[in-house]
């Protein structure tokens, strides 16, 4: 139980209510044994975030929407020739990995000192990964949706007018919808049968099942810094590291990191 | 945990120990062993094939030797969904028909367009279909689909546009598959009742008999019914989802299959990256007709077997289409 309390929540950057917009870089190392024996790696400047913080008298709320899109590879691109009578080159190269996450956390201070405080509460952690693997002459679509709840904890403080925080979280129970053992099975095919994006999305997510912290372990660590530039505006920086380990239907290891800067308006 | 350690090592130094040829062979053998859906239906002794084809490999064997051993083993499956892809090589087809282009010349869409359709046909920018009337029998409407995916809604337009035709030819020769759920919807006008058309189950674990429960797929009516006599043309290049499309139409009373047996590769295919970066695709399912008949490995047989004469095709005559017309016009 102790270690659960040490892992907790999305990003609580500022103690004030405000709206924050960020942009930056993200990196990913993902090894999904459903699709590959080799980890895919990539770095992207396409990483953004939008966060809303509301601080009440007793509780703080934060909703954080973030996304990134990167070209992941196992190594250098290479070509092969496909076709016997109409031969043409095919390239095994970048696979576009897209992640969207939406987290919501709520909690309050359990320790409140003059220059630092410890907040504890609960969070809803939601993440969708789209990973259509480029296999040269063909491709295979992969997906992973995780919708979970878990505890959070945040340590925040203030130094020389700048506010900083470190937060951590892990879903304890989550609905996990992930590409099946063989990537394409009948439920997957049935989910795509409508060929309409929204219906297919919900169809795929419905293929999931509830999982506990084992076999899916997905801790996050967030750091945030806010430097006031006026009474209402802050410059903000945000960094996070996230690990996803899943054991079913085949092993998945996903390590990601992101760094972004932006601005926040306080209200 | 060893895998996680490997990944963290990769992250730290961007390197990993190079596996030897026997290790890579074993990894590829294991990948097929733990994912392939066709062992039972094709009667494959995978253990024996592994022993046979790994025997010549040594720790210092080069990539060519590995390629020869792996492709030799995969060739024994003779499976249209099993392909191996490696840098600077011709993509290897396990299926002999595709690998050796057997009778590939017995289908020529240009010859059909210019000859049987008299140059009067409709297609689109991506050539996702060919639609016309036969010159020698204008009462027969013709449609060829090179694959079955988001192009299959054209079937509805074809039926509407050819209301005054009294017979239909749906040509699925050299139809390389796609997504069978599209024709499952597009072919709805061909039935007035719910028809179970095939069932499938998928590997869901590493043991060779690890399969999901069977899913029975059905063709369901949409309201209107088109019961005109129709020939579905097939050949050895009618593969994958195209074969499932044939299975949808075969039970219908107005449909006759003409041509040569289909490829015999109906399971859904997926791909995976091997430890040396090669890409291996293979089917992960068993598929069979609702009555349990298995066409995997043998193909769906036509009622009338005919292969177009290549010499006549060069003159614009497709003898398979002529055979189809004979079926449609038979008293």
- Would you call A186 and B93 a contact, using CB atoms and an 8 Å cutoff? no
* Residues of B with Cβ-Cβ distance to A217 under 8 angstroms: none
Q: Residue A5: what pLDDT?
A: 32
**Distance set, CA A129 to CA A144, A240, B232 (Å):** 5, 17, 41
How far is residue B306's CA from residue B323's CA, in Å, rounded to a whole number?
A: 7
Q: Residue A8: what pLDDT?
A: 32
* Residues of A with Cβ-Cβ distance to B181 under 8 angstroms: 189-190, 192-193, 195
Half-sphere exposure of A242 (CA within 13 A, CB side): 27
The answer to whether the CB of A242 falls within 8 A of the CB of A10 is: no
Instruction: Closest CB to B277: pick one of A38, A85, A187.
Output: A38
For B199, nearest residue in chain A (alpha carbons): A186
pTM assigned to the model: 0.92
Per residue in B174-188, pLDDT (tens digit) is: 999 999 999 999 999
* Residues of B with Cβ-Cβ distance to A80 under 8 angstroms: 85-91
Backbone angles phi, psi at B177, to 5 degrees: 95, -150
Q: Residue A196: what pLDDT?
A: 87
- Would you call A185 and B204 a contact, using CB atoms and an 8 Å cutoff? yes
Q: Residue A13: what pLDDT?
A: 40
Q: Which residue, among A75, A79, A80, would best test binding to B if mutated, counting the most B CBs under 10 Å from its CB?
A: A80
- Would you call A181 and B204 a contact, using CB atoms and an 8 Å cutoff? yes
Q: Which of A147, A165, A119 is nearest to A264 (CA)?
A: A165
Q: Which residues of chain A have pLDDT under 50?
A: 1-14
- Would you call A190 and B179 a contact, using CB atoms and an 8 Å cutoff? no
* Residues of A with Cβ-Cβ distance to B220 under 8 angstroms: none
Q: Residue A14: what pLDDT?
A: 43
**Beta-carbon contacts below 8 Å between A and B:** 137
Q: Exposed (0-12), middle (13-18) or buried (19+): which is A153, by Cβ within 10 Å?
A: buried
* Residues of B with Cβ-Cβ distance to A250 under 8 angstroms: none
Q: Residue B331: what pLDDT?
A: 87
Q: Which residues of chain B have pLDDT under 70?
A: 1-16
Helix (H, G, I), strand (E, B) or coil at B105: helix
Per residue in A13-42, pLDDT (tens digit) is: 445 789 999 999 999 999 999 999 999 999
Helix (H, G, I), strand (E, B) or coil at B115: helix
């Amino acid at each position: 139980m102790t270690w659960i309390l040490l892992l907790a929540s999305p990003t609580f950057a500022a103690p004030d209510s405000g709206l924050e917009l960020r942009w930056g870089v993200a990196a990913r190392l993902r090894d999904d044994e459903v699709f590959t024996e080799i980890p895919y790696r990539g770095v992207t400047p396409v990483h953004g975030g939008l966060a809303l913080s509301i601080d009440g008298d007793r509780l703080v709320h934060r909703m954080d929407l973030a996304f990134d899109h990167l070209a992941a590879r196992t190594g250098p691109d290479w070509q092969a020739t496909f076709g016997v009578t109409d031969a043409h080159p095919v390239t095994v190269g970048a696979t576009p990995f897209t992640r969207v996450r939406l987290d919501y956390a709520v909690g309050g201070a359990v320790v409140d000192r003059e220059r630092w405080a410890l907040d504890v509460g609960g969070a809803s952690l939601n993440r969708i990964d789209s990973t259509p693997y480029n296999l040269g002459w063909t491709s295979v679509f992969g997906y992973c949706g995780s919708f979970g709840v878990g505890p959070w904890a945040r340590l925040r403080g203030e130094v020389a007018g700048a506010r900083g925080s470190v937060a951590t979280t892990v879903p304890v129970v989550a609905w996990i919808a992930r590409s099946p053992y063989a990537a394409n099975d009948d439920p997957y095919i049935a989910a795509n049968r409508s060929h309409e994006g929204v219906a297919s999305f919900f169809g795929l997510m419905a293929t999931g099942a509830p999982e506990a912290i084992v076999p899916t372990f997905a801790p996050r660590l967030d750091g945030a810094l806010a430097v006031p530039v006026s009474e209402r505006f802050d410059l903000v920086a945000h960094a996070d590291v996230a690990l996803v380990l899943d054991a079913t239907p085949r092993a998945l290891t996903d390590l990601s990191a992101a760094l972004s800067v932006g601005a926040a308006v306080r209200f | 945990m060893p895998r996680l350690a490997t990944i963290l090592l990769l992250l730290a130094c961007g390197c990993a120990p190079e596996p030897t040829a026997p290790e890579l062979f074993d990894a590829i053998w294991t990948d097929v062993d733990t994912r392939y859906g066709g062992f039972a239906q094709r009667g494959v002794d995978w253990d024996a094939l592994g022993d046979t084809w790994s025997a010549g490999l040594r720790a210092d064997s080069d990539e060519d030797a590995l390629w020869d051993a792996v492709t030799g083993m995969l060739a024994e499956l003779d499976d249209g969904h099993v392909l191996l892809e490696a840098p600077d090589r011709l993509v290897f087809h396990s299926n002999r028909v595709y690998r050796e282009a057997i009778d590939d010349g017995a289908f020529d869409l240009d010859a059909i367009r210019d000859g049987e359709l008299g140059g009067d046909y409709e297609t689109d920018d991506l050539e996702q279909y060919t639609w016309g009337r036969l010159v020698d029998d204008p009462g027969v409407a013709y449609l060829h689909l090179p694959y079955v995916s988001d192009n299959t809604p054209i079937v509805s337009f074809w039926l509407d546009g050819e209301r005054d035709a009294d017979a239909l030819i749906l040509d699925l020769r050299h139809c390389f598959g796609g997504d069978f759920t599209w024709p499952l919807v597009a072919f709805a006008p061909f039935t007035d009742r719910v028809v179970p058309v095939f069932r499938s189950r998928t590997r869901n674990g590493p043991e060779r008999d690890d399969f999901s429960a069977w899913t029975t797929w059905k063709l369901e009516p949409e309201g209107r019914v088109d019961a005109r006599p129709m020939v579905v043309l097939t050949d050895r290049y009618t593969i994958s989802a195209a074969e499932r499309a044939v299975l949808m139409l075969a039970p219908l009373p107005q449909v006759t299959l003409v041509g040569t047996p289909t490829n015999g590769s109906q399971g859904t295919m997926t791909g995976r990256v091997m430890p040396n970066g090669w890409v291996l695709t293979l089917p992960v399912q068993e598929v069979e007709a609702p009555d349990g008949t298995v066409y995997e490995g043998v193909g769906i047989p036509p009622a009338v077997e005919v292969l177009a004469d290549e010499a006549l095709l060069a003159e614009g005559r497709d003898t398979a289409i002529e055979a189809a017309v004979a079926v449609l016009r038979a008293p």
